[in-house]
């Protein structure tokens, strides 16, 4: 059977997975009165997610205004900045059990739920930001770390006065430090860039002999946590978390730890690119031996999650409704894919 959406009224204590200790924060969402099932929104105008390194001053202003307003919402508003950050903690640090499975933890990483869960998370986050600035066309930026032009922290995030700033980041990895997607530790920027492109080629094209190599291993009702991540989740995705997380903090906060990752606005920018990788893999890449890139298993398609939408309404969503990003009303700015030529 598919993993069912968690029961909010049974949400409990979360664990710091880096230390194994209980967290002294409550990351459970406020209780919702009724739950509605997600209906795809009417497609009025496509929201185009821009590359974070290329956005205009006008865009930066809008984005910062939206995040600032999110930070000013009442603490118990499920759309507020901390409540949104805590979604990641609740779904990833053992605050929820799988419904009907005793004390078996629910975990959305390291399995085929990774891409769909984060797609939904960003979808609602983006809708909330758009609502807060009265712009339904607002789209999150993506951190284009797969392209040499995007291989540093996007400059707009490093202004300490900006709402999208976060102090808990590794000071050694501020621009112009180049992301190290292979976690090589190599300090030569040119070598790292070229290695990054090779990493991208491997994750996106070469390492995928079956669908689960890319998507992550099956995770159903009753499956133990972490059956296995896909190439992209395990590789570049984790590398970016490690790159940004602050080594001066006890557990790599913010980006370097599940419970705190959502507290850094850069998290959503990073995951917009992870989401883009899924879309590229689905629709734009050479088929590399795979005939079919669709998982048809009903335990995948019917897995469900709960999110608060832009109107603070609790919504139950399923994996099958997020498979096509354009049906959710957003797409990505087109940029080059230089790694396609980096076959190792």
What residues numbered 11-70 form the site for ligand C2O, per CB under 6 A? none
Question: Which of residues 241, 257, 269, 325 is near ligand C2O by CB under 6 A?
Answer: 241
Question: Which of residues 3, 66, 89, 92 is near ligand C2O by CB under 6 A?
Answer: 92
Question: What is the C-alpha end-to-end distance of the chain, expressed in Å?
Answer: 40
> Is 237 noted as a catalytic residue in this protein?
yes
Least gap, CB of 124 to ligand C2O (angstroms): 14
Our CB check for ligand C2O shows the closer of 60 and 261 to be 261
Work out whether 276 is an interface residue with ligand C2O (CB under 6 A).
Answer: no
Least gap, CB of 176 to ligand C2O (angstroms): 24
Residue window 189-228: x/- pattern of binding to ligand C2O, with contact defined by CB under 6 A: ----------------------------------------
Least gap, CB of 274 to ligand C2O (angstroms): 7
Least gap, CB of 135 to ligand C2O (angstroms): 26
User: Residues in contact with ligand C2O, total (CB under 6 A)?
Assistant: 8
CB within 8 A of 206, min separation 6: which ones? 288, 343, 344
For strand 47-49 and strand 35-37, is the pairing parallel, antiparallel, or unpaired? Answer: unpaired
> Is 53 noted as a catalytic residue in this protein?
no
Our CB check for ligand C2O shows the closer of 237 and 263 to be 237
Question: Which of residues 47, 53, 109, 119 is near ligand C2O by CB under 6 A?
Answer: 109
Whether residue 265 contacts residue 321, with contact meaning beta carbons closer than 8 Å, is answered with no
> Is 258 noted as a catalytic residue in this protein?
yes
From 53, 81, 109, 243, active-site residue:
109
Residue window 253-272: x/- pattern of binding to ligand C2O, with contact defined by CB under 6 A: --------x---------x-
Our CB check for ligand C2O shows the closer of 205 and 277 to be 277
Our CB check for ligand C2O shows the closer of 69 and 276 to be 276
Give the tokens for residue 69: 């307003």
Question: Which of residues 47, 88, 131, 220 is near ligand C2O by CB under 6 A?
Answer: 88
Question: Which of residues 49, 79, 169, 237 is near ligand C2O by CB under 6 A?
Answer: 237
Least gap, CB of 88 to ligand C2O (angstroms): 6
Our CB check for ligand C2O shows the closer of 109 and 220 to be 109
Least gap, CB of 229 to ligand C2O (angstroms): 10
Our CB check for ligand C2O shows the closer of 128 and 261 to be 261
From 88, 124, 305, 332, active-site residue:
88
Whether residue 250 contacts residue 260, with contact meaning beta carbons closer than 8 Å, is answered with no
Helix axes 81-92, 114-132, angle to 10 degrees: 170
> Is 270 noted as a catalytic residue in this protein?
no
3-state secondary structure the chain: CCCCCCCHHHCCCCEECCCCEECCCCCCCCCCCCEEECCCCCCCCCEEECECCCCCHHHHHHHHHHHHHHHHCCCCCCCCHHHHHHHHHHHHCCCCECCCCCCCECCCCCCCCHHHHHHHHHHHHHHHHHHHCCCCCCCCCECCCCCHHHCCCCHHHHCCCCCCCCCCCCHHHCCCCCCCCCCCCCCCHHHHHHHHHHHHHHHHHHCCCCHHHHHCCCCCCCCCCCCCCCHHHHHHHHHHHHHHCCCCCCCCCCCCCHHHHCCCCHHHHHHHHHHHHHHHHHHCCCCCCCCCCCCCCHHHHCCEEEEECCCCCEEEEEHHHHCCHHHHCEEECCCCCHHHHCCC
Say how far apart CA 215 and CA 115 lie, in whole Å. 7
Our CB check for ligand C2O shows the closer of 79 and 88 to be 88
Binding site for ligand C2O (CB under 6 A): 88, 92, 109, 118, 237, 241, 261, 271
Active site residues: 88, 109, 118, 237, 241, 258, 271
């Amino acid at each position: 059977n598919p993993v069912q959406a968690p029961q909010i009224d049974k949400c409990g204590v979360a664990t710091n997975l880096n230390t194994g200790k209980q967290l002294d924060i409550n990351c459970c969402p406020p209780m919702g009165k009724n739950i509605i099932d997600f209906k795809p929104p009417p497609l009025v105008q496509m929201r185009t997610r821009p590359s974070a390194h290329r956005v205009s001053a006008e865009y930066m202003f809008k984005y910062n205004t939206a995040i600032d307003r999110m930070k000013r919402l009442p603490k118990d508003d499920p759309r507020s900045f901390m409540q949104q950050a805590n979604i990641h903690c609740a779904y990833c640090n053992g605050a929820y059990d799988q419904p009907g499975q005793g004390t078996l933890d629910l975990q959305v990483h390291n399995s085929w739920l990774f891409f769909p869960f984060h797609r939904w998370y960003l979808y609602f986050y983006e809708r909330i930001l758009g609502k807060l600035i009265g712009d339904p066309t607002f789209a999150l930026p993506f951190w284009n770390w797969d392209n040499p032009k995007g291989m540093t922290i996007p400059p707009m995030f490093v202004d300490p006065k900006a709402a999208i700033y976060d102090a808990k980041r590794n000071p050694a990895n501020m621009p112009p430090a180049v992301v190290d997607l292979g976690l090589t530790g190599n300090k030569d920027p040119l070598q790292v860039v070229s290695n990054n492109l090779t990493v991208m080629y491997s994750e996106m094209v070469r390492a995928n002999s079956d669908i689960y190599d890319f998507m992550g291993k099956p995770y159903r009702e009753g499956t133990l946590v972490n059956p296995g991540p896909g190439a992209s989740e395990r590789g570049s995705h984790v590398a970016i978390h490690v790159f940004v997380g602050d080594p001066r903090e006890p557990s790599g906060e913010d980006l370097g730890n599940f419970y705190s990752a959502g507290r850094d606005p850069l998290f959503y920018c990073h995951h917009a690119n992870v989401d883009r990788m899924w879309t590229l893999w689905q629709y734009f890449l050479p088929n590399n031996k795979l005939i079919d890139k669709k998982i048809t298993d009903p335990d995948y398609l019917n897995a469900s999650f709960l999110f608060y939408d832009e109107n603070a309404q609790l919504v139950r969503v399923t994996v099958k409704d997020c498979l096509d990003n354009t049906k959710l009303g957003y797409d990505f700015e087109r940029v080059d894919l230089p790694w396609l030529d980096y076959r190792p």
